[in-house]
Structure 1
Amino acid sequence: MSINSAFHSQRKWNIGFILFLTLLLLLLSQISIRLTLITALGISLGFVLQKSRFCLVSALRDPILIGMTQLTRAFLLLLGISILGFALVSWGASQSNIPLSLNIFPMGVHTVVGGLLFGIGMVLAGGCSTGIIIRIGEGFAMQMLAFFGLAVGSVLGERSLKSWRYTFGEWPGIFLPDIFGWVPTLILELIVLLTLWQLARWWQKKQLGE
């Protein structure tokens, strides 16, 4: 098949898929506007994730294996935007005297063990939770097995959490604004992220000359 034939074939599939999604959203709009908006948001998010190839594993693995830090810097940017957004929401709530309910989870040995197991699993599976779901949508059968392992591991972890807490105990969670205040915490976190971003940029330039 020539390049032009493949291009036109893909274009037909794209047009058909867009028409299908349009009809689906029109049908859902007759049932519930809220459901339509949620579906449209989910489709848009999936499209962006698939095209950007955003994956936590790649963000942590690529700098070590190939010296590429583009996804690493994108992840740091995402954290920075999230921190600023959360700070604005918290500030707005405090100005309006709206109480915020925060879930500050405790830490323990189970946190470290779970993080190590999840990290090893991500590398073996070739993707984080988001990356696995994206590749399932692309038709990779092996990622279905990885998703099954992710689901089983999550259930086992949740079921055994009480035993871990009882055996090893845990420490109360740390909420930095309670210690330093909101403004110093925000400044500190942004400085740390900016420093890591510059280090990631320097590392790629050193490894790849870019």
Structure 2
Amino acid sequence: MSWQQFKQQYLIKFWAPMPAVIAAGILSTYYFGITGTFWAVTGEFTRWGGQLLQLMGVHAEEWGYFRLIHLEGSPLTRIDGMMIIGMFGGCFAAALWANNVKLRMPQHRIRIIQAVAGGIIAGFGARLAMGCNLAAFFTGIPQFSLHAWFFALATALGSWFGARFTLLPMFRIPVKLQKVSAASPLTQKPAQAKRRFRIGMLVFIGMVGWGALTAMNQPKLGLAMLFGVGFGLLIERAQICFTSAFRDMWITGRTHMAKAIILGMAVSAIGIFSYVQLGVEAKIMWAGPNAVLGGLLFGFGIVLAGGCETGWMYRAVEGQVHYWWVGLGNVIGSTLLAYYWDDLSPALATSWDKVNLLTTFGPLGGLLVTYLMLFAAFALIVGWEKHFFRRKNIAASQAIEENV
């Protein structure tokens, strides 16, 4: 294969979601085993909100939530911070390769309201549940934490309510029709595409170099950045978005991304199981009402906003301004939860048990239970897809009969 063929096939064209999500599951497994932490972003975004408050003179470090997740240092000295910087760099490089960077403004102010409000709700819910689409789906479930299953099921239900809510007439943008005499020709700018591809390669090489140099003195920080670059490439090139996975399932019946996510978790689970048996400690959180309530809010919020953590990150660097507002809302919502944590946590979270399925059912039993539940989730998704299209076909047939 020539360089031009490789470039077109793997760097410019979008990647198939299924293998990309499975690759993300494998990468998150090694990230857990090597760094001892898990692939997640909202915890670090919450720290960013706390440190912005510190700059304004607020002693956020005294809040119980920040004592729990630690507010010391900066993004450059924290594993999560370096990983997220790497993710943004990977997303930006990938978007430049494909000439997919363009400033795109929201079509209507209602979209800005949706972005901020949805981002706040999703950020609040994610931190209340101590998870997000990554910290629960790609790490919590493969790490055998029962709270992640509560969160996942509640997120699915919350996304259903969100899908129904966003179909209300108030969210419909008026369409302006313009009379034209001929179709507008498609304009291609090969010189611009070539220039941006080179800039993307410079960004990629710069991020990898930064991570490699950091790894020489601080191995975990440097490796976290390198993993982040890999995560960023995957989510941007394959357009991995949990919001679309849930929303499309309820509205259009398409379940391809949802199936891919389950397969990604299944691949990750066996790898994390191996690391746990070698002594790497899994992250188990409280299996309490916080996981359910947080999941409902998160599912509703991401559909209202139009993007989850992975979705808004790669779309923001592509120049979609709507998702800048989603990211802002996300930081605000997670910081609000940190403020109210001491009031909410005793009843909703900290008084409940942290349930590890490997401890409850034994190592092999916990692994088997996890795979049985993943299989059940996959079967339910397939069943919903068949039900959705069967119902749609019946409705179409009835409409034809009425018009005959």
- When normalised by structure 2's length, the TM-score is 0.44
How is 1:118-157 mapped onto 2 (pairs within 5 angstroms)?
Answer: 118-157=298-337
Residue 13 of structure 1 corresponds to which residue in structure 2? Answer: 196
Q: Distance in 2 between matches of 1:108 and 1:28?
A: 38
Residue 181 of structure 1 corresponds to which residue in structure 2? Answer: 362
Q: Which of residues 58, 61, 72 is equivalent to 2:247?
A: 61
Amino acid at match of 1:141: V
- Paired positions, count: 203
Residue 141 of structure 2 corresponds to which residue in structure 1? Answer: none
| Superposed displacement of residue 61, structure 1 | 1.6
Residue 274 of structure 2 corresponds to which residue in structure 1? Answer: 88
| Superposed displacement of residue 41, structure 1 | 3.3
| Superposed displacement of residue 125, structure 1 | 0.9
Contact 1:106–1:172 under 8 Å retained in 2: yes
Query: Structure 1 12/59 Cα, relative in aligned 2: closer, same or farther at 3 Å?
Result: same
Unmatched 5+ residue regions in structure 2?
1-183, 391-404
1:143-176, Cα deviation, whole Å (9 max, x unpaired) = 1111111111111112212211345673212222
Contact 1:46–1:134 under 8 Å retained in 2: yes
Residue 381 of structure 2 corresponds to which residue in structure 1? Answer: 200
Match of 1:171, SS state, is: coil
| Superposed displacement of residue 196, structure 1 | 2.4
Amino acid at match of 2:245: A
Q: Distance in 2 between matches of 1:166 and 1:26?
A: 45
2:348 pairs with 1:162 = no
Contact 1:25–1:36 under 8 Å retained in 2: no
Query: Structure 1 7/197 Cα, relative in aligned 2: closer, same or farther at 3 Å?
Result: farther
Please state which structure has a larger fraction of its residues in helix.
1
- When normalised by structure 1's length, the TM-score is 0.80
Q: Distance in 2 between matches of 1:154 and 1:131?
A: 17
2:372 pairs with 1:191 = yes
2:232 pairs with 1:46 = yes
Query: Structure 1 113/187 Cα, relative in aligned 2: closer, same or farther at 3 Å?
Result: closer
Amino acid at match of 1:10: A
| Superposed displacement of residue 201, structure 1 | 3.6
Q: Which of residues 290, 293, 303 is equivalent to 1:113?
A: 293
Amino acid at match of 2:247: R
Unmatched 5+ residue regions in structure 1?
94-99
Q: Distance in 2 between matches of 1:70 and 1:111?
A: 26
How large is the RMSD of aligned CA atoms in angstroms? Answer: 2.9
Contact 2:276–2:282 under 8 Å retained in 1: no
Contact 1:110–1:161 under 8 Å retained in 2: no
Match of 1:173, SS state, is: coil
Amino acid at match of 2:272: F
Query: Structure 1 2/198 Cα, relative in aligned 2: closer, same or farther at 3 Å?
Result: same
Q: Distance in 2 between matches of 1:145 and 1:73?
A: 29
